[in-house]
A and B are shown apart, each in its own frame.
Chain A
Amino acid sequence: MRRRPLTRVLTHALLIGGAFLSAMPFLWMITTSLKPEGALYQPPLLVPTHFDWHNYVEAWKAAPFPRFFLNSAVMTVGITAAQTLSSAMAGYAFARLRFPGRNIVFLLVLGTMMIPFPITIIPSFLIVAHLGWLNTFQGLIVPRAVSAFAIFLFRQFFLSIPPELEEAALIDGAGRFTIFWRVVLPLSGPVIAASAIFSFLFAWNDFLWPLLVTTRTDMQTIQLARVSWLSG
């Protein structure tokens, strides 16, 4: 399609304006983080004029940030690994094994995507508290160790793998789990990557659940620390 120059200029003007609004908070963040103390609101606000790296050093020292990062990392890796493995296993069962009640169970699993988080939050909190899991990594990880969305993703992918590959392994005497582990999973790179990215983003950015189940500073994740050190 040929376009008139005026249209092209207008398009770019709109896009640049929008992109500026979209990226402006990041610019502000970088600029402000490099300003010396007391110059927070001194203009210009968006173009870095100072390059004072002290803030980073001091922030790192002011609070136990390494600890918060470690907490976030352990929780995120735990949730991502658990969700990927458990969802791959469940997805495999729904895609390949024909057992009584399969469709009903699958519908129930999908149904959990429609239960809003707030409904489950109070009883889940009570269960975790009852187990003595407050301020522990299992309290942060286990309740979110399964993802219905990821199960759905894996099931759809497994349905597209030719069953002949698995039959060959079956004839060679492999059990279901061996087939899953040695034949199916090595073929599932793309879907494992996709599922892991979603899990990672969800876990790293999550706020409400860690807010509820951690009360001690040394168990806080980085998202919580950001808020409490800001207001504290």
Chain B
Amino acid sequence: MTPTPAMRTGRRGGASRPTPGRGLRALPTALLFLLPTVVVLGTFNFYPAVYSLYLSFFKWNGLSPTKQPVGFSNYGQLLSSGEFWNSLRVTVLYAGGMTIAALAVGMLVAVLLNQRIAGRAVYRVLYFLPVITPTVAAGVVWRYLFDPTQGVVNRGLAMVGIGGPSWLTDPSWALLAVVIVGVWKRVGFNMVVYLAALQGIPQAHYEAAQLDGANAWQQFRFITLPLLAPSTFFLTVTALIDAFQVFDLVYVMTSGGPLKGTDVIGYYLYRYGFRYNELGFASAIAYVMFLLIFVVTLVQFRLNRQGATYAT
């Protein structure tokens, strides 16, 4: 490596020099540059995060001047309510199902599109279209598509001789319908990230494997899959964080029903916070949700560190 001017003069970093932008003298300028950030993030992120925790120890309807301190009873009530455990089960099923299915489909599409085939650009656009569609619009349209007798989905199923269920009004099928729409909206994003990663895998790996007589499946299993692991990790973490907070889709498609069959935690929180005005209890729900996301993310980082990494 040839020494850069910054290195020769013995200065650190090269990015920041001993100009007026250094030390205490830089503080007023820095404060000015950071003013909007500090004010907005402070007021609408940090303060609310702390205040939520505080609120979760009170019973309050948001209007009365006094908040009634109740200790841990909001949390106690939460953990002993069947509604909460139902909500947790539904959320985990949604998050798990949506994440895994979207990863699998996204990877398959990316691998297929990574070849030199006709119409590649058109395929990419078609698969990416749902990603940029507003969730609300998608939910509204899919509600019609899932109509039990007249909808496109069941008519399509009938054409191959399957009697489709009454999707959104059937407690055992509604969640699957929401998962399907979640996957539909996610696949394109996963595809783009996987495509970028696939293009970074050196062709030499495959050539070496072919010389050793590896078939297509073995090449996928022992080269592609392990080298995509960092992308898979990124996509899993972000998909799960999003999925645990799902709200719009449920609000539009099912409103948490039927029989609370799609009452995900995000919707459960909305009901208590903004319909029943139990702000303390809703804050407790929010913190339990935060804890859940935090633990799930932590576990993933642990698992990722244990997994083998291939150097390219």
When distances are taken between beta carbons in the complex, the residues of chain A under 8 Å from B47 are 123, 127
* Beta-carbon contact of B36 and A86 below 8 Å: yes
CA distance A121 to B32 in the complex (A): 27
Is chain B's binding surface mostly helix, strand, loop or mixed? helix
B234 within 8 Å of A (CB atoms):
no
B184 within 8 Å of A (CB atoms):
yes
Q: Which one of B15, B23, B119 lies within 8 Å of A163 (CB-CB)?
A: B15
Chain B interface size, under 10 / 10 to 19 / 20 to 34 / 35 or more: 35 or more
- Minimum CB–CB distance for B109 against chain A, Å: 6
- In chain A, positions 29-52 with a C-beta closer than 8 Å to chain B are 29, 32, 40-41, 43, 45-46
Known: A15-B112, A23-B126, A97-B26. A115 touches B36 (CB 8 A): no
A118 within 8 Å of B (CB atoms):
yes
Q: Which one of A22, A86, A95, A230 lies within 8 Å of B130 (CB-CB)?
A: A22
- In chain B, positions 200-214 with a C-beta closer than 8 Å to chain A are none
B103 within 8 Å of A (CB atoms):
no
* Beta-carbon contact of A92 and B33 below 8 Å: yes
B85 within 8 Å of A (CB atoms):
no
Known: A18-B105, A21-B184, A112-B46. A96 touches B127 (CB 8 A): no
Q: Which one of B52, B130, B274 lies within 8 Å of A212 (CB-CB)?
A: B274
By beta carbon, the residue of chain B nearest A26 is B129
* Beta-carbon contact of B15 and A123 below 8 Å: no
Chain A interface size, under 10 / 10 to 19 / 20 to 34 / 35 or more: 35 or more
- Minimum CB–CB distance for B28 against chain A, Å: 9
* Beta-carbon contact of B115 and A3 below 8 Å: yes
- Minimum CB–CB distance for B247 against chain A, Å: 6
* Beta-carbon contact of A120 and B126 below 8 Å: no
- Minimum CB–CB distance for B49 against chain A, Å: 5
Binding site for A on B (CB under 8 A): 14-17, 19-24, 26-27, 29-30, 32-34, 36-37, 40-41, 43-49, 51-52, 55, 62, 105, 108-109, 112-113, 115, 117-119, 122-123, 126-127, 129-130, 132, 134-138, 140-142, 144-145, 147, 150, 152, 155, 184, 187-188, 241, 244-245, 247-248, 251-252, 265-266, 269-270, 273-274, 279, 282-283, 285-287, 289-290, 293-294, 297
Binding site for B on A (CB under 8 A): 1, 3, 8, 11-12, 14-15, 18-19, 21-26, 28-29, 32, 40-41, 43, 45-46, 82, 85-87, 89-90, 92-93, 95-100, 102, 105, 108-109, 112, 114-124, 126-127, 142-146, 148, 151, 159, 163, 167, 170, 176-177, 180, 201, 204-205, 207-208, 212, 223, 226-227, 230
A-B contact pairs, 5 of them (CB 8 A): A21-B184, A32-B144, A99-B30, A163-B15, A226-B134
